[in-house]
Structure formats: structure tokens, C-alpha cells
Amino acid sequence: MTAAENRTETGVAGRPYHLLAIETSCDETSAAVVRNGREVLSNLVSSQIDTHRQFGGVVPEIASRKHVESITVILEEAIRASGVALHQIDAVAVTQGPGLVGALLVGVVAAKGLAMALDVPLIGTHHIAGHIYANRLIGEMVYPSMALVVSGGHTELVLLEREGSFRIVGRTRDDAVGEAYDKVARALKFPYPGGPHVDRLAQEAAEAIELPRAWLEPDSYDFSFSGLKSAVLAEINRAGMKGEALNIPALARGFQESVVDVVTGKAMKAAREFGVRQMLLCGGVAANRGLRDKLTRLCEEAGLPLLIPPLKLCTDNAAMIAAAADLKWRRGEFTPLDMKADPQMSLEAWSVKETEASRL
Ligand code: KG4
Ligand code: ZN
């Protein structure tokens, strides 16, 4: 019997199991080795931020080329640093989508090659499931739970009725939160990625310029940030035309307060409506001080447990991909070797298969 057929929740025929994971969906090349689905033995991330900064955002062609340059070294280093021998790797997980197609392809090709060479199963994994399951690397997840996913490419409220089941109850209709932060930061002449600069200014500001909040329809959990972004640009233009000095920290704080009010407000409302037992915050923007503080306070007031991964597990990394792939590993749901990178991959369709036992 192969290791894959012998797997259990606690190991492969009594011994621990190891997933090797690869993430290349955007501008980070990452590889990780995770033991028993939760113990991170290594998690290497090579960021391309310095390369893309000069262009003010991620250039897909350059991202793919950089992944090709880094992937072998990052993989070798992740395996070496984990202390695990190649023959102890039980499955290879890789981000299949969503993401930049050329970037995803680099990881997918490497993962297929490794799975074939090591003769172990391949697990094509959803990037957002990875962001959500980063939380399982730091704490116990309970169900039903509500995940607020905020990153440079995604803004979603995801209901997890059971382990590994994903239902999107709200999503952005235009920009992702991180994208809005980066665009506002750019208008204020900060380098890419601008989110952390706006966050810092907002913390330092003594006052806030009041900006609109996009609540949309009363029963909607969707988001929209394009109106807010336009309001910020209008403030900048207004000051410029009048020759007035712009209060940049007050504008940053006004922008941040509007974003944080709306995303936390909708997350708490959804948590109440769906009667969840836990809130999860994840994605690169989970690093935002204002967002973490407010969501922490609201969850405390509501008596709702909250998990937020540490910074290095919030931004793109391969350990989170292993954490999500573990859902499939434990159920024996593997991906054929002829799978393709899927830039538009559906999170809901990636949910684990519903079994008789899980439906009870
Ligand atoms: O999850 P992530 O690393 O990459 C994607 O999958 O998109 O998120 C990166 C995004 C960038 O837009 C960056 O500006 C934003 O997260 N970000 C922040 C903060 N730190 C990172 N946005 C607001 N405040 C922060 N402190
Ligand atoms: Zn991401």
C-alpha cells in the first residue's frame, strides 16, 4: 500500500506525514514543508516587491520570469531547512488558482514534476482557501465560522458551515481592499505596495477628513471601494486647485476609517445572521492595524472568538497552501497530474466533497 492510501488524521500508518507546498500565484515565490497539516517546518518566501516597485504594481510578465529564476532555489532551501528527506514527502500541494496565469504555471509545473519524481499525490489548492486555513496553523478552527478575506486581489466574506466547505456571502464589486489602499497610496506619492504607508499615517493622524461609506443595499454583504477612492482623489484635486496644503495624514485616516467601518460592520452583521461560532481575518490587509484593532474590539463586545494569523502567514506564503491542502489530503481527494493552472478558480467548487458522515 502506498503512503497516500495509508494516511490517517495523525499520520501515515502511525508516522507523521509531510506536505510540500508551493505558492507562485502573484509576486511571491514560496515553498514550505508542513508536518501533520499544522506544524510548519519551513516556509520560505522570496518577494519580488523590489522589482515591481519601480513600475508601481505587479507586472505579470516580469513576475513569471522571476518565479522561474527563484523556484528551484526556494524549493531546495525549503526542503533543506525543514530537515525532512525527500523520501519523507507524502504529497505535493500547489496553488492552482486564482492568480496570474503565467505565475501560477511556474508553480504548477514544478509541483507536477516533483509529484511525478517522488511518486506521491498532487493536490491543486485554492489560494483563498490557503489564506483562510492559515488560521489552522495558529489555533483551533470551529464551525460554522465567517472568514473576512482582505488582500491585494480579493475582498470576500466566506461562510464555512463545516470544515472545508466554502460559501461566498459577499465580495467586492470593483477594487479589492488592498488594491484601493495601493491606489490611494500612489495618489499620495507613496511607493508600491502603499497599504502599510497609509496605515501608518492613519495611526499618526490627529484628525480625520470625513469620507463616504459604501454600505450598498441594506441586505448586501458586497463591497465597493471605487467611490471612496474617487472621493480621496477629489480631495487631493480640490486642495491642489485651491493651492491649499493637503492634510495627508487626516486624509489617510479618513480613508482607513471608511474602509474599516464598512468591512468590519458587514463582517459582524454576517456573523450574526449566520450564527457563526468564530471569526477569521486573513489576507495581506489583515496586517492593517486599524482593521485588526476594530475587529478585535467588535468581536470581544460580541463574545465571538477571533483568529488572526501573524503577519508572515497573512501575506502570500506556501505554508498556508499546505494548511488548505491538508483538507484534501485527509480525505484522499487528489488532483490528476494533467491538471491546469486556473486563473479564475472557484473557491466554492474547491470545497471538500460532502460525505454522508459530514452531512449528519
Ligand atoms: O495577500 P497579499 O500579500 O497579496 C495578495 O494575494 O493580494 O496582500 C497584499 C496587499 C497589498 O495591496 C498591500 O498594500 C496590502 O496587502 N497591505 C496593507 C497593509 N499591509 C499590506 N494594506 C493596508 N494596511 C496594511 N498595514
Ligand atoms: Zn494572497
**pLDDT attached to residue 149:** 98
Q: Is 309 in the pocket of ligand 1 (CB under 6 A)?
A: no
- CATH T-level assignment (fold) for domain 142-308: Nucleotidyltransferase; domain 5 (3.30.420)
pLDDT at 46: 79
Q: Is 316 in the pocket of ligand 1 (CB under 6 A)?
A: yes
CA terminus-to-terminus distance, the chain: 30
Give the residue extent of every domain in the chain: 3-133+314-359, 142-308
Which residues line ion ligand 2, judged by CB < 5 Å? Answer: 151, 316
Q: What is the chain's mean pLDDT, rounded?
A: 92
Which tens digit of pLDDT belongs to each residue from 79-122?
A: 999 999 999 999 999 999 999 988 999 999 999 999 999 999 99
Map the chain to HEC letters: CCCCCCECCCCECCECCEEEEEECCCCEEEEEEEECCCEEEEEEEEECHHHHHCCCCCCHHHHHHHHHHHHHHHHHHHHHHHCCCHHHCCEEEEEEECCCHHHHHHHHHHHHHHHHHHCCCEEEEEHHHHHHHHHHHCCCCCCCEEEEEECCCCEEEEEECCCCCCEEEEEECCCCHHHHHHHHHHHCCCCCCCHHHHHHHHHHCCCCCCCCCCCCCCCCCCECCHHHHHHHHHHHHHHHHHCCCCCHHHHHHHHHHHHHHHHHHHHHHHHHHCCCCEEEEECHHHHCHHHHHHHHHHHHHHCCCEECCCHHHHCCCHHHHHHHHHHHHHHCCCECCCCCCCCCCCCHHHCCCCCHHHHC
Please say if the pLDDT value at position 317 is more than 90.
Answer: yes
> Which of residues 68 and 346 earns the better pLDDT score?
346
Average pLDDT of 169-184? 96
In this structure, which residue's CA is closest to atom 8 in ligand 1?
284
165 lines ligand 1 (CB under 6 A): no
With a 6 Å cutoff on the Cβ, whether 156 touches ligand 1 is no
Question: Does the structure show a pLDDT above 50 at 360?
Answer: no
pLDDT tens, position by position, 207-240: 999 999 999 999 999 999 999 999 999 999 998 8
Asked whether the predicted pLDDT for residue 54 surpasses 80, the reply is no
What is the structure's pLDDT at 356?
A: 55
- Which has the higher per-residue pLDDT, 311 or 302? 302
Looking at domain 3-133+314-359, its CATH class is alpha beta
Q: Do domains 3-133+314-359 and 142-308 have the same CATH topology?
A: yes
pLDDT at 329 over 90: yes
pTM exceeds cut of 0.75? yes
Q: Can you tell me the mean pLDDT for 241-252?
A: 93
CA of 215 to the centre of ligand 1 (A): 22
Please state the atom number of ligand 1 nearest to the C-alpha of residue 315: 3
